[in-house]
Structure 1
Amino acid sequence: MDSHLLSSSPMAAKSHTPILQHLVDITGHRDHSRLELSVVSALRQLMDIRRIRKLEFFTQDDTAYVRPHLLLEHDQVFAIDDNTSDHHCDLLSDYPELLQCIEQHTNSTQRVEPDGTDTLWLPVRLDNKIVSCIEITNDTVYSAQTVDVIHGIVEVYRNYQSLLDYSERDALTGLFNRKTFDEQFSRHARNAASLAPASAGGERRESSSPTQWLAVVDIDHFKQVNDRFGHVYGDEVLILVANLLRSSFRSNDRIFRFGGEEFVVLLRSAELESARSIFERFRQNIEEYDFPQVGRVTVSLGFTGTGHGAPVEILGHADQALYYAKQHGRNQVCYYEELMSGGDLQVADVAHNDVELF
Structure 2
Amino acid sequence: MNTFIEHIVKLTNHRDRDLLELTFSKALIDLLPLERLVIARVMREEGVSRWLEVARLDIKGGGRVIDPQRVEFQSLVKLEDAYDRFKCLQSRSLVEVAWAGSDGPRITMLPLFSDSRLEDCGVLELHSEAALSPGSLALVDALRQIYRNMYALLEYSDRDSLTGLLNRKALDDAFYSAVLEDQEGIWPNMGGAAEQERRHRVPANYWLGSSSVDNFDLIAANHAAAASQEVLQRVARIMSSTFRTYDRLYHFGAAKFGVLMHCPDEALVLAAFERFRANVKATQFPQVGRVTVSSGFTTVRADDSPASALENTERAVDFARRGGGNKACSHLGLVRRGFFGPVATPSDEAVAG
TM, length-normalised to structure 2: 0.73
Structure 1 residues 245 and 119, CA gap change in structure 2 (3 angstroms): farther
Q: Are 1:166 and 2:156 counterparts? A: yes
| Residue 89 of structure 1: how far off its partner (Å) | 7.7
How far apart are the structure 1 equivalents of 2:242 and 2:80?
18
| Residue 321 of structure 1: how far off its partner (Å) | 0.5
Instruction: State whether residues 26 and 38 of structure 1, in contact with CA within 8 Å, keep that contact through their aligned partners in structure 2.
Output: yes
How far apart are the structure 2 equivalents of 1:235 and 1:320?
25
| CA RMSD across the alignment | 3.5
Unaligned stretches of 5+ in structure 1? 4-16, 102-108, 196-208, 348-358
1:273 to 254, 267, 270: 267
Structure 1 residues 85 and 51, CA gap change in structure 2 (3 angstroms): farther
1:122 to 107, 111, 115: 111
1:111 to 74, 81, 95: 95
2:310 to 298, 315, 335: 315
Structure 1 residues 131 and 305, CA gap change in structure 2 (3 angstroms): closer
Q: Are 1:149 and 2:136 counterparts? A: no
Amino acid at match of 1:36: E
1:33 to 1, 18, 32: 18
Structure 1 residues 308 and 159, CA gap change in structure 2 (3 angstroms): closer
2:166 to 159, 176, 186: 176
Deviation string 1:319-344 (CA, Å, 9 cap, x unpaired) is 10010111112222101121122123
Deviation string 1:234-265 (CA, Å, 9 cap, x unpaired) is 22332232233333334443222111110121
Structure 1 residues 74 and 145, CA gap change in structure 2 (3 angstroms): same
| Residue 30 of structure 1: how far off its partner (Å) | 1.3
Secondary structure of 1:120's aligned partner: strand
Q: Are 1:98 and 2:89 counterparts? A: yes
How far apart are the structure 2 equivalents of 1:193 and 1:42?
25
Larger RCO, structure (CA 8 Å, separation 6 or more): 2
| Residue 294 of structure 1: how far off its partner (Å) | 4.3
Q: Are 1:330 and 2:325 counterparts? A: yes
Q: Are 1:78 and 2:68 counterparts? A: no
Instruction: State whether residues 124 and 130 of structure 1, in contact with CA within 8 Å, keep that contact through their aligned partners in structure 2.
Output: no
Q: How many pairs are equivalent?
A: 309
Secondary structure of 1:28's aligned partner: coil
How far apart are the structure 1 equivalents of 2:37 and 2:176?
32
How far apart are the structure 2 equivalents of 1:119 and 1:296?
52
1:43 to 28, 33, 36: 28
Amino acid at match of 2:71: T
Aligned to 2:196: none
Instruction: State whether residues 44 and 245 of structure 2, in contact with CA within 8 Å, keep that contact through their aligned partners in structure 1.
Output: no
Structure 1 residues 110 and 293, CA gap change in structure 2 (3 angstroms): farther
Structure 1 residues 110 and 308, CA gap change in structure 2 (3 angstroms): closer
Deviation string 1:5-31 (CA, Å, 9 cap, x unpaired) is xxxxxxxxxxxx811111122122211
Q: How does 1:241-320 map to 2 (within 5 A)?
A: 241-307=235-301, 309-311=303-305, 312-320=307-315
Amino acid at match of 2:328: V
| Residue 228 of structure 1: how far off its partner (Å) | 4.6
Instruction: State whether residues 213 and 256 of structure 2, in contact with CA within 8 Å, keep that contact through their aligned partners in structure 1.
Output: yes
Instruction: State whether residues 49 and 78 of structure 2, in contact with CA within 8 Å, keep that contact through their aligned partners in structure 1.
Output: yes
Q: Are 1:226 and 2:211 counterparts? A: no
How far apart are the structure 2 equivalents of 1:54 and 1:291?
38
| Residue 110 of structure 1: how far off its partner (Å) | 1.9
Deviation string 1:63-100 (CA, Å, 9 cap, x unpaired) is 79565343115554332316626554855897354234
How far apart are the structure 1 equivalents of 2:80 and 2:226?
32
Structure 1 residues 137 and 259, CA gap change in structure 2 (3 angstroms): same
How far apart are the structure 2 equivalents of 1:338 and 1:214?
14
Amino acid at match of 1:120: M
Structure 1 residues 100 and 235, CA gap change in structure 2 (3 angstroms): farther
Instruction: State whether residues 33 and 80 of structure 1, in contact with CA within 8 Å, keep that contact through their aligned partners in structure 2.
Output: no
| Residue 301 of structure 1: how far off its partner (Å) | 0.7
How far apart are the structure 2 equivalents of 1:291 and 1:91?
35
Structure 1 residues 18 and 267, CA gap change in structure 2 (3 angstroms): same
TM, length-normalised to structure 1: 0.73
Instruction: State whether residues 69 and 86 of structure 1, in contact with CA within 8 Å, keep that contact through their aligned partners in structure 2.
Output: no
Amino acid at match of 1:136: E
How far apart are the structure 1 equivalents of 2:77 and 2:219?
35
| Residue 119 of structure 1: how far off its partner (Å) | 4.2
